[in-house]
Amino acid sequence: MRSRRMMPRFQDLSYRTKLLLSYALIVTIPLTILSYKYFVSSSGFISDFAKQNLYSIVKQNNEIMDAELARIEDSSLALIAEQVLYEQYLTADPKDEYQMITMEKRVSRALNTYFPDLKHMYSIHLITSYSDIGPTGATTFIPYEGFNQTALYQAAVQADGGMAWVPTFSFGDMFNRDAGSPTPSENVQLLAGVRLLKLFQINNGEVIELQGKAEAPVLVITYQPDYYRSRFASVLPSTGASFFIMSRDGQRVADSREEDSTLDEASLKRMAEMKSGTLTITRNGKPLIVCFDTSDVTGWISGVTISPETLGSAFLPEVKSYTFYLTLILLLVSLLLAFFLANSITKPIQQLLQAIKKTGEGEFDTRIPVKSYNEMGLLIHKYNQMNVKINNLIEENYKVKLREKETQIMSLNIQLNPHFLYNTLNIMNWTALENEQNDLSAMIVSLSSMLQYTSSSNQDIGDLEDDLNWLKHYFSITEQRFEGKFTVTYDISPELYSFKVPKLFLQPFVENAIVHGFARLHSGGRIAIRGRLTGDGRVFMVEDNGIGIPRHKLAGLAGEESTSIGIRNVDQRIKLIYGEAYGVTVNSEEGKGTTVIIKLPI
């Protein structure tokens, strides 16, 4: 019952109110849905962008460290060809104390040359079973006794001259040092790069290797994990992010917190296969985003871990606020536009209703300005046209009545005028005969016959025979003026005489031939009038041997006001009576005459 009561109320609402309510619903619902989708897609996009940014930081940081470690590898590789090292280790005698002191100085100077920048390194060593030599001024603390039993030595031997990188280890555990041992502390954490130096020299183009002649030293370069930790700590974008560096088999190299390095074996395997990228893994039952990259130098995996909540906490509140205020602004703007739109639609309707009321009261000159060309503008335009037509019909009706009266008066005058003219011409004819002016009498008789033909009927068409007779009377008069200047011949098919033709349709072309075509001739002019019945109509031709028409005038003949008004008149009359397919065609060649072709239907 309630809904039934509401429907009439809604139907009784004004058109503008309905538009406002409808537009509000149409805008609000989609806008809410779009705002939600915008928030979701924006959050996803920004989250992806943040992950990509985090990944770029990891990769860039890894590339920087790889560049530094690659320089270390290049320097260590260059040591192999160092002549001083080859000579010192070839002739080394552990029992000769003086020689060992000399050897230590020369080897230290060589290390200074190849490793001038030691600020990132913890220590550099060249170790054999009988010595541990570092750069000048550096402390050597790695025990060389039993060094060949350590994992560092084994890694160097397995690399067989290549650089091997050993993950973080405890100094005390690696070298079996107890708490009472000298510096460094047994608890110090180090990571190392080791290389077995296969020293050689070139003598007379021959490469002579140290191996087999003397013990080859092992280069040991150590770093503290803080080397990596300090680099990552300065570039991590969020307080909730942590970093890790691990070997492919899961050994820890460095991290921001110890618990952050606990990645499961499956995740490490996937990262090892992918080498570089972004993963979402599960740790302790919670999702975790991992952005990682594999070092081309060490083969270790560097990465940053961050929870989705932490990653989103930096931007999600702003996205929510932005989406809310954007939705609110769009809604207000939409409602404001709806108000103006409703007014723009209903205002012309109100104007139209008022104008219709005025028209109903007899104000037919009422006009509404057309401000648009939509449906409403078209409706107003049609209303204006209707008023114009009504007004015009009223005026035309008034004028028609006036013309009817004028026509009645003219009709009476027309009935008197021909009778008066015939009587006058008859008097002139008898006067000419009394004065024995036979030529003038003949001209008056011809003119009287011509006048009788043109005024005998109000119709625009007549018999061909009557039209030709009128033309003969015309020639009779003009021959008196141009005696002996031209001759006229007729060649008309007999079947054409049964058809009607436009009155005087040949006269303008004959007159043109006489007045213009024969203007320079004194005699010998010929006019031929022909008529034939063809398959698609009747064709009449007026030919003359006059001076012809210049080409530049022929193209615009129909538009010449002074000399061709008769030609244009005949062409337009034919087209109005019979259609656009029929009319007049003029062919002319200067000096050879003119041919006019008149085409009429059957």
Per-residue pLDDT tens for 321-343? Answer: 877 888 888 888 888 887 787 77
pLDDT above 90 as % of the chain: 30
- Please list, in sequence order, all residues whose beta carbon lies within 8 angstroms of the beta carbon of residue 119, skipping any fewer than 6 positions away: none
Q: Output the average pLDDT for the chain.
A: 82
How far, in Å, CA of 125 to CA of 107, rounded? 10
Whether the pLDDT of residue 264 is over 90: the answer is no
Least trusted range by pLDDT, from 20-29, 172-181, 496-505: 172-181
How far, in Å, CA of 295 to CA of 62, rounded? 6
Whether the pLDDT of residue 209 is over 60: the answer is yes
> What pLDDT is stored for residue 563 in this prediction?
53
475's tokens: 């020639």
- Long-range CB contact pairs, 384-393, < 8 A, 24+: 387/359, 390/359, 390/364, 391/364, 391/365
**Sheet of 252-255: strands edge to edge?**
252-255, 242-246, 301-306, 286-294, 276-283
> What pLDDT is stored for residue 337 in this prediction?
81
Place of tokens 């013309």: 403
Calculate mean pLDDT across residues 260-271.
76
Place of tokens 């280890």: 169
How far, in Å, CA of 162 to CA of 218, rounded? 11
> What pLDDT is stored for residue 426 in this prediction?
67
How far, in Å, CA of 563 to CA of 557, rounded? 8
> What pLDDT is stored for residue 204 in this prediction?
83
Maximum mean pLDDT: which of 189-198, 227-236, 368-377: 189-198
Least trusted range by pLDDT, from 72-76, 283-287, 351-355, 405-409: 405-409
- The answer to whether residues 327 and 333 touch, using CB atoms and an 8 Å cutoff, is no
Cα 14 from chain centroid (whole Å): 43
pLDDT category at 178 given cuts 50, 70, 90 is low
How far, in Å, CA of 561 to CA of 542, rounded? 21
Element (H, E) at 123: strand 123-127
- The answer to whether residues 421 and 451 touch, using CB atoms and an 8 Å cutoff, is yes
pLDDT category at 2 given cuts 50, 70, 90 is low
Sign of dihedral through CA atoms 8, 14, 17, 21? positive
pLDDT category at 309 given cuts 50, 70, 90 is confident
User: Which CATH class, in words, describes the domain spanning 457-600?
Assistant: alpha beta
Whether the pLDDT of residue 421 is over 80: the answer is no
Cα three-residue angle 441-442-444, rounded to 5 degrees: 65
Whether the pLDDT of residue 551 is over 90: the answer is no
pLDDT category at 412 given cuts 50, 70, 90 is very low
How far, in Å, CA of 574 to CA of 500, rounded? 12
At 261, the amino acid letter reads S
Least trusted range by pLDDT, from 204-208, 554-558, 583-587: 554-558
> What pLDDT is stored for residue 469 in this prediction?
92
Least trusted range by pLDDT, from 200-214, 235-249, 350-364, 407-421: 407-421
How far, in Å, CA of 466 to CA of 487, rounded? 21
Place of tokens 């009709």: 411
pLDDT category at 179 given cuts 50, 70, 90 is very low
> What pLDDT is stored for residue 416 in this prediction?
45
Between strands 486-492 and 525-534, the pairing is: parallel
Calculate mean pLDDT across residues 341-346.
76
Query: pTM (2 decimals)?
Result: 0.50
Q: Does 184 sit behind a cis peptide bond, omega within 30 degrees of 0 on the bond before it?
A: yes
Q: Provide φ and ψ at 598, rounded to 5°.
A: -110, 120
Exposure string for 419-438, b = 16+ CB within 10 A, e = fewer? eeeeeebeebbeebeeeeee
- The answer to whether residues 19 and 342 touch, using CB atoms and an 8 Å cutoff, is yes
At 214, the amino acid letter reads A
The 3-state secondary structure of 180-194, one letter per residue = CCCCCCCCCEEEEEE
Q: How many CA atoms lie within 13 A of 255 on its CB side?
A: 20
Calculate mean pLDDT across residues 249-263.
71
- The answer to whether residues 322 and 249 touch, using CB atoms and an 8 Å cutoff, is no
Whether the pLDDT of residue 105 is over 70: the answer is yes
Calculate mean pLDDT across residues 79-99.
92
Whether the pLDDT of residue 574 is over 80: the answer is yes
Q: How many CA atoms lie within 13 A of 326 on its CB side?
A: 13
- The answer to whether residues 88 and 199 touch, using CB atoms and an 8 Å cutoff, is no
Q: Provide φ and ψ at 578, rounded to 5°.
A: -110, -20
Whether the pLDDT of residue 439 is over 80: the answer is no
> What pLDDT is stored for residue 183 in this prediction?
54
Q: Provide φ and ψ at 125, rounded to 5°.
A: -140, 145
Whether the pLDDT of residue 184 is over 90: the answer is no
Partners of 509 in the beta sheet? none
Domain ranges (residues) in the chain: 457-600
pLDDT above 70 as % of the chain: 86
> What pLDDT is stored for residue 411 in this prediction?
46
Calculate mean pLDDT across residues 204-220.
89
Partners of 542 in the beta sheet? 529, 596
DSSP 80: G
> What pLDDT is stored for residue 406 in this prediction?
60
pLDDT category at 256 given cuts 50, 70, 90 is confident
pLDDT tens digit string along 446-458?
Answer: 777 777 766 665 6
pLDDT category at 595 given cuts 50, 70, 90 is very high
Whether the pLDDT of residue 530 is over 90: the answer is yes
Maximum mean pLDDT: which of 315-319, 450-454, 488-492, 572-576: 488-492
Whether the pLDDT of residue 598 is over 70: the answer is yes
At 291, the amino acid letter reads C
Burial class (CB in 10 A: 0-12, 13-18, 19+), 169: buried
